[in-house]
Structure 1
């Protein structure tokens, strides 16, 4: 069983799908691991470290030749996987809804594509969940990015020259990224408030010492939506939320938006008119900018200024912390394959619950129910 770790080809991708730590663990299972030279450069991992862990380091062709499993952070283009074994697994973040043509190409190439972001939100799969591990880092980094753009201090400071007021930070969307953003902003000394359409998150917000901002007297979503995400809200709720948030946004210095709906454009949470009500020098970080954006005027890959407010739209925010992001991502991949490793077969054998959830293609066909029903 050969596992290949090619260098990521996507623009700006700094992460790598295996570290020397996980290479050692795969080898301990009996796998042969090949790493493309330079694969870990973005995450400050030298080729020598992979070699010391037992991997064979070579060029791309050598790495992929005969590979049974190809690991990735972002899925490689099928045309760039020549030389792999027939029916090889591609195990990575594959963006199935956004890259449907690539999924079809995996099927046409006879590859078995396993999308790690389709990992079911169940207890035994928590250690395999790339969305949670990467969102956690993104929520943290979003606050640091906001602090870097904000021209004032976060905490209240009492000095001989006078008092500096604490920044007011507002987190919109209280999933993994939002919860980490709340905790990070609180640690930096900001006064933090947060909101979500899922009413069950109220207690989570309060447990972190933040103030919950919720629409009253209009039903939201009780508990979690599908897969741990919120669903789309009724027009009545959206109108009530817009009215409530408009007044609150005008008083905020920092806003972090994190709302995503799988398979659909990100919901619009902040309009240009609402941005105009915020005071000059305020900062908004849109973590959903690559999915269409929560903020009107946000531009993927750029920091723009509208009405004196900076709107931060960095791409691949978790990848801005490449060493930690790679460490967590690679452990997710190892935990997934290790959980199903069959010692007699010398390879992982998936079960139906998780296998059917993550498998996009097999035997030349697209087989995932979520894609076929999209």
Structure 2
């Protein structure tokens, strides 16, 4: 059984799929681990550290991918500078475990199926108690929520905490967090630790107690429709409900010094929660940090990957926030992968058991076919648009 760790080639990706500590545990279990030269370099894990952990460091990318029974990555397979696709480097019958964005880019799943690769998508891990240790979306979202607050605090031309000085009293900053999932809850906790007054909004009323337990005020909007999808994620709501939501949150956006938006719907464009009209009502010097920028943004003024100033308001649309903290992001992701592989490796051999609900949910392609119905639907919708 050979597990290979690929070097990420996406420009903004600094994470690595396995850190040396996890490699050492796998080696002790009798698994052979191959690591591509420089795979951990941008996350500050040296080739020497991997060798000390028992891994074999390989400089030949084609060899590494071709020998892997299980290939581990962070980002979805990319097109290489030499014109080859990483998918074409995988041997038939091998297993790829990575973030794959199968609902947003189902064509990748189609190509993996054609290559007869068993692809496990980390986005598709079910949100259940048993799968918590494998839930990479949550582990990485927590980092994004934390970092978003630090970015907002650095950009705000004010203090976050209340200060009493000889020169007078400084009022605390007001932070409004939109979306109380994992990223939002971590943002609440971080902003509160920095001394801000925090309000939070989410269309799911069930998160009210979690928000309040962290010391924030919950802004509630009563809607007539169901707002929670399978797995506890927020569900896309009707246009009427979106309008009602915007009317309620507008006043809170107006009064905030920092707004952090985190609302995302898997496989869909991020809902617009902050309109241009809302931004126009904010105080000069206020800041918006839009975590959902990669999916189009929750703010109508967001420019993904850029910091802009719009009518005196700084709007930040960061891309891949977890990658900006590669040491701990890699540590958490590595643990997620390790936990998943415990289900896939039995007696040092690969065992893809679809009777296991986690394996069944996470497996996107197998045996030359796309297994997941949601991915099939997304691919069909993409084909319809293309035609």
Matched, 1:38 2:38: yes
Q: TM-score by structure 2 length?
A: 0.92
Q: Secondary structure at the match of 2:323?
A: helix
- TM-align CA RMSD: 1.5
Match for 1:178 among 166, 184, 189?
184
> Alpha-carbon deviations, 1:208-253, whole Å to 9, x = none?
110111124x43646x422221112234432222111111111100
**What is the alpha-carbon distance in structure 2 between the residues aligned to residue 179 and residue 24 of structure 1?**
33
| Residue pair 2:162, 2:172 contacting (<8 A) in 1 also | yes
Matched, 1:260 2:261: no
User: How far did residue 201 of structure 1 move?
Assistant: 1.0
| Residue pair 1:155, 1:165 contacting (<8 A) in 2 also | yes
User: How far did residue 86 of structure 1 move?
Assistant: 2.5
**What is the alpha-carbon distance in structure 1 between the residues aligned to residue 366 and residue 6 of structure 2?**
22
User: How far did residue 104 of structure 1 move?
Assistant: 1.2
**What is the alpha-carbon distance in structure 2 between the residues aligned to residue 235 and residue 349 of structure 1?**
42
Matched, 1:116 2:119: no
Equivalent in the alignment of 1:195: 201
Equivalent in the alignment of 1:76: 77
Contiguous gaps of at least 5 residues in structure 2 = 80-84, 379-387
Equivalent in the alignment of 2:352: 349
Q: Secondary structure at the match of 1:51?
A: helix
Q: TM-score by structure 1 length?
A: 0.95
Equivalent in the alignment of 2:212: 206
**What is the alpha-carbon distance in structure 2 between the residues aligned to residue 103 and residue 274 of structure 1?**
39
Equivalent in the alignment of 2:62: 61
Matched, 1:285 2:286: no
* Pairing of 1:317-328 with structure 2 (within 5 A): 317-328=321-332
**What is the alpha-carbon distance in structure 1 between the residues aligned to residue 45 and residue 281 of structure 2?**
45
Match for 1:219 among 221, 224, 233?
224
Contiguous gaps of at least 5 residues in structure 1 = none
| Residue pair 1:173, 1:194 contacting (<8 A) in 2 also | yes
User: How far did residue 272 of structure 1 move?
Assistant: 0.8
| Residue pair 2:10, 2:78 contacting (<8 A) in 1 also | no
Q: Which segment drifts farther, 156-165 or 69-78? A: 69-78
User: How far did residue 82 of structure 1 move?
Assistant: 4.9
| Residue pair 1:5, 1:17 contacting (<8 A) in 2 also | yes
